[in-house]
Structure formats: C-alpha cells, structure tokens
Amino acid sequence: MAGKKMTVIDFQKYKDEGKKFSFVTAYDYTTASIINDSDVEVILVGDSLGMIMLGYDSTVPVTLDDVIHHAKPVVKGAPDKFIIGDMPFGSYNVSIEEAIRNANRMVKETGCDCIKLEGGVEMADTIRALVKAGINVMGHIGMTPQTATSFGGFKVQGGTPESARKLIEDAKALQDAGVFSIVVECVPSVVAKAMQEEVRVPILGIGAGPDVDCQVLVTQDLLGMYGDFKPKFVKQFAHIREEMVRGLNQFHEETISGEFPTPEFSFNKAVDIPKVYGG
C-alpha cells in the first residue's frame, strides 16, 4: 500500500504532530519495489550494503560509486518513498569542497531526496556548507559504523553522564548546522528520550529505544534474511531466510526427482522436426 511520498517538511510535521513513522534500507530494485508496496515511509540506501550485499566485515571499504550504483535501482523501484543516499567513509572528510562535489553526485546521479553523513560537532561546518549548497542533510550520531574502530567496535554509546551529554550537544550542533533530522544509533533509551525532548528536529532511532520519532532497521535484519549476526536491537518480523532455503531445497528435490517441470511450466506446442540423414 503506497501513500503520498513524504517530503523533508513532513519529517518536522510528523514530529510536531507526534506521529511516528518508520524507515528501512534497500540496495536493489526488487526490494525497493516491495517496500514501495508497504506502509514504510522512508528508504535508506545505506553503506551497510558493504556488509549486507558485498560481504565486507565493515562499511569502511564502501565507495561513493558503490552507493550510487545501488541507489539508482532503488529510486526507480520506490517512486512513492522518501529516499536517502548514504555518504560512505572518505567521501566527505577530505574537504568541504569535496564533500559538496560528492553530495552533488549522489543527488544528481541517483535522484535521491537527501544525503546522510556520520559525525557530531566536528561535521557542523561541512553540513552548514552542504545545506547552503542546497542539499538536504540527515545527520547520524551515536554508534557511527564508519569510525567504530575509534571507540573499540560496534558498542553502545552515551553510557556515561558525560558521553550522554556530549551526544545531546552533538545533536544540537547538527541541528544548528541545518540538518532536517538525525539518526541516533545504539544509545541507551533514556539518552535518546532526553535528546528527543531537547532537540527540535526529528530523532530517528536504531537501537535507541521507543521514545524517538521514527524507528530504523536494516530490511535484511528485520525480515530475517541476513545470517552473519543479529544485533540486540533487531526484532525479526519475518523469517525469510528459512523460507528461501525451503523453496530452494524444494526446487532441487523436484529437479532431481523429475517432478519439475510439468507441462504447466513447459512450452507444449507440437513441432514436426525434420530428420537429418547422414549428418
């Protein structure tokens, strides 16, 4: 079921009206078209594609060309959804000029509605310049996968009074720089709640508890498709991997037994094939 496509303005409207919404990832046309048939409002072409689609151990090796390549079919497959292009590591940390050049590429070449980048107060000047250049920017703080090695891996952030306060100040700095919303990943629920109350722009939580404006999950996690690991915050709303393995096994079984294909799945037109003699 597809409703009217959300706009940047709607993000704030939803928060102001206390109306929650949901956002998931997609990296290909078929998945995007399935999400387009659902009630989920927002799609992220995340750099998580490095792990989910390409089998990397982290998001760090993902390139801008990778994300652009995956974002184009998603934009095509989900015309009724708000689509975010994720800026990968190395595409916005060299200089402000390069960040603008790369963000321009993301928006122009894919047709996505905004870009997302990771980082707190240290990214404020870059975000300000991007917004001034006419690009819609979504922030991402808390557990930021691109720089996870600097805090010892994929760990919950904001677990001390000082680090919790720092996260909220980061959110305020992003808001002042002009982001229209902020993804907050892997933080204690009380920290996300305090942030949601102190910051005007919508807070989009992934592993951030219930008191945020929107819930975010990776599609392959929530549908039970990705098999390498399952973070604590992931609820599996379906078990598609098991169903896919079941279907594949049935295809294999019916192939070796000769049960497949029946005439229903064959082209049954009679053709009088001339014989070739002496060939």
User: Which stretches of the chain bind ligand KIV, using CB under 6 A?
Assistant: 25, 44, 46-48, 86, 140, 183, 185, 206, 216, 218
Give the separation between CA 65 and CA 79, rounded to whole angstroms: 22
103/218 with CB nearer ligand KIV: 218
Query: Whole-number minimum distance, CB 88 to ligand KIV, in Å?
Result: 9
Nearest CA among 226, 200, 225, 224 for reference residue 213:
200
Tell me the closest approach of the beta carbon of residue 46 to ligand KIV, in angstroms. 2
For ligand KIV, the closer of residues 8 and 260 by Cβ is: 8
Task: Give the nearer residue to ligand KIV in terms of CB position, either 236 or 260.
Answer: 236
Measured CA to CA, the distance from residue 240 to residue 165 in angstroms comes to 40
Annotated catalytic residue 185: yes
Q: At its nearest, how many Å lie between ligand KIV and the CB of residue 23?
A: 8
Q: Is 160 left (phi over 0), alpha (psi -120 to 50) or beta?
A: beta
Q: From the candidates 17, 97, 118, 185, which is the catalytic residue? A: 185
How would you class 30 by CB atoms within 10 Å of its CB: exposed for 0-12, middle for 13-18, buried for 19 or more?
Answer: exposed
Q: Minimal distance in Å, beta carbon 218 to ligand KIV? A: 5
CA distance 15 to 17: 5
Rounded to a whole number of angstroms, the minimum distance from the CB of residue 27 to ligand KIV is 9
Cβ proximity to ligand KIV, 173 vs 218, nearer residue: 218
Residue number of the CB atom closest to ligand KIV: 46
CB closer to ligand KIV out of 234 and 240: 234
Residues serving a catalytic function are 185
